[in-house]
């Protein structure tokens, strides 16, 4: 067992990451250790990043231990860059964390100055040029060692050399990292949350300690969002709410709808369902000092004309509202809707997708005349279940089959219906069972007790398989 991360007190004792636990305890018998949990660390970092959205909408993760905030155009709201940085650091320190921050014109420069403090400097460019070559964050550790062996110890040493010479000797990666650090090349920041289509905020002079009052304020915000969506002729498919507590924690909530919605009561019903489904109740703590409602996904929403009976459109909206509520209670992946797939392979001809993720299909392809017996069973096995079949001839229809330890005598059959594999998945014009599958001959059969099955022979006898296997793929009602 080795040490993964240490606090400042452990570092002051001479302990280093990667040291074995036995050696560390030999130096400091009273050392307190905890099991490393990278998933919990990432979850905590994401919560801190969501809370940092109070300062700027462009807040990104700098895993595994940092955050990156683009405060362009936001600093004046807090009295300047230093005041904003100090306020953010104070919030994190109140949670028991030790924070070190830096300001620079680029994300790479801020990260480097934070990791490698250089002290007072004439300006930002001078401070960056005094950084060690490890500040370039090259992927291979040998690159920094090679730079030092060549006498290039600082960023300024590299900047004084021609870029072509550096690229030829140390690779283009070193040149790109150098240019990004000095601001000569721009690397876009990837915020944790993309810029939403609509964003509404409410800030409070005094923290609001009542969850009921917060929901009442959120209702007004939802009505305002609905008005903005109506002006654009759109409806929201996804709504995100963030409750910012005065102690720096943020509680994000997200609801999705299967149809575009801009009605405030409908939005609030889903939000209330989401709050009731939380494992931990929404605790205001010392109070909420800000609420934020965003609509990251919106779609066109045309006016709906009801029929004279008022039925079809109203029924569709009622079903969509029911699907949304069930998806929030049970989970978005629990309520699914079948969608037709662009494939003639039976198990790929339809896909089960979350009902709130995509809109209902307009129509299903009609493959038979009305009134004819169904060509496909209502229930398909995934994967098809193997059976033992007795046939009069090897490539003939089934005469008897054994499934789940029970023997079934075939009295009627219809087929075969031959379904060939997808030729574009074959290699070099040949069919391979592992890549493109085999030709299937399907039969609709009925046993002596009147039960109907959909079975197939996998592979052509004598050409694709010596002993083709038989499978049952579905059951007819």
pLDDT single digits (tens) 101-145: 999 888 888 988 888 887 777 788 888 888 888 888 887 667 778
Edge-first strand order for the sheet with 250-261 is 198-208, 288-300, 234-245, 250-261
245 and 172 in a single domain? The answer is no
Residues 80 and 19 in one domain: no
Shared domain check, 83 and 162: yes
Same domain? For 32 and 72 the reply is no
Q: Distance (Å, rounded) from C-alpha 14 to C-alpha 382?
A: 58
Beta bridge mates, 288: 208, 245
Question: Which range (53-67, 179-193, 240-254, 331-345) has the least confidence?
Answer: 331-345
Q: Please tell me the pTM assigned to this model.
A: 0.51
Cα–Cα distance measured from residue 155 to residue 153, given in angstroms and rounded to the nearest whole number: 7
Residues 239 and 316 both lie in one domain? yes
Provide the domain limits for residue 171. 39-182
Report the C-alpha gap between 450 and 200 in whole angstroms: 63
Same domain, yes or no: 208 and 307? yes
Q: 330 lies in a domain? A: no
Can you tell me the distance from the alpha carbon of 72 to that of 310, in angstroms, rounded to the nearest whole number? Answer: 52
Give residue 268's pLDDT: 92
Q: Are residues 16 and 70 in the same domain?
A: no
- For residues 131 and 258, state if they share a domain: no
Q: Which residue has the tokens 């290039």?
A: 152
In a domain, 332, yes or no: no
Region 345-373 average pLDDT: 69
> Helix, strand, or coil here: 27?
helix
Q: pLDDT tens digits for 282-297?
A: 888 889 999 999 998 8
**In terms of domains, do 16 and 93 share one?**
no
In a domain, residue 173? The reply is yes
Residue 270 belongs to a domain with what CATH number? 3.30.1490.100
**Count of structural domains within the chain:** 4
Q: For 323-338, write each residue's pLDDT tens digit.
A: 877 887 777 777 887 7
Are residue 169 and residue 268 in the same domain, yes or no?
A: no
73, 129: one domain: yes
Task: List for the chain the helix, strand, coil content (%; round to 5).
Answer: 35, 25, 40
Place of tokens 């800000």: 290
312 and 289 fall within a common domain: yes
In a domain, 291, yes or no: yes
Residue 92 is assigned to a structural domain of this protein: yes
């Amino acid at each position: 067992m080795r040490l993964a991360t240490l606090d400042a007190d452990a570092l002051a004792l001479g302990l280093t990451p990667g040291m074995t636990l036995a050696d560390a305890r030999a130096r400091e018998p009273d050392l307190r250790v905890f099991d490393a949990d990278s998933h919990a660390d990432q979850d905590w970092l994401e919560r801190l990043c969501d809370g940092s959205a109070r300062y700027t909408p462009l807040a990104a993760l700098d895993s595994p231990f940092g955050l990156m905030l683009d405060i362009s155009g936001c600093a004046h709201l807090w009295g300047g860059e230093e005041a904003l940085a100090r306020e953010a650091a104070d919030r994190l320190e109140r949670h028991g964390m030790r924070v070190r921050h830096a300001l620079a014109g680029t994300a790479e420069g801020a990260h480097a100055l934070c990791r490698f403090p250089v002290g007072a400097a004439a300006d930002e460019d001078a401070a960056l040029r005094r950084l060690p070559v490890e500040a370039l964050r090259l992927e291979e550790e040998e690159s920094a060692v090679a730079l030092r062996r060549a006498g290039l110890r600082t960023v300024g040493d590299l900047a004084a050399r021609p870029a072509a010479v550096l690229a030829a000797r140390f690779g283009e990666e070193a040149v790109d990292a150098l240019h990004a650090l000095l601001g000569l090349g721009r690397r876009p920041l990837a915020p944790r949350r993309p810029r939403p289509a609509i964003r509404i905020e409410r800030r409070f002079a005094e923290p609001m300690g009542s969850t009921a009052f917060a929901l009442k304020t959120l209702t007004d915000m939802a009505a305002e969002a609905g008005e903005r969506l109506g002006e654009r002729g759109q409806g929201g498919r996804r709504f995100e709410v963030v409750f910012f507590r005065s102690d720096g924690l943020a509680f994000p909530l997200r609801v999705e709808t299967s149809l575009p919605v801009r009605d405030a009561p409908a939005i609030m019903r889903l939000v209330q369902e989401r709050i009731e489904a939380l494992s931990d109740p929404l605790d205001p703590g010392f109070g909420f000092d800000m609420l934020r409602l965003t609509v990251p996904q919106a779609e066109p929403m045309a006016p709906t004309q009801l029929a004279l009976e008022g039925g079809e459109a109203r029924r569709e909206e009622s079903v969509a509202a029911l699907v949304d509520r069930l998806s929030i209670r049970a989970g978005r992946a629990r309520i699914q809707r079948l969608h037709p797939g662009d494939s003639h392979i039976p198990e790929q001809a339809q896909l089960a997708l979350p009902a709130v993720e995509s809109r209902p299909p307009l129509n299903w392809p009609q493959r038979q005349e009305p009134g004819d017996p169904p060509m496909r069973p209502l229930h398909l096995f995934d994967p098809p279940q193997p059976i033992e079949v007795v046939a009069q001839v090897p490539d003939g229809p089934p005469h008897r089959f054994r499934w789940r330890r029970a023997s079934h005598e075939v009295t009627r059959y219809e087929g075969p219906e031959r379904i060939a594999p997808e030729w574009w998945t074959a290699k070099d014009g040949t069919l391979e069972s592992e890549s493109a599958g085999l030709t299937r001959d399907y039969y609709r059969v009925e046993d002596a007790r009147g039960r109907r099955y959909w079975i197939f022979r996998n592979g052509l006898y004598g050409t694709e398989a010596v002993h083709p296997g038989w499978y049952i793929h579905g059951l007819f009602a």
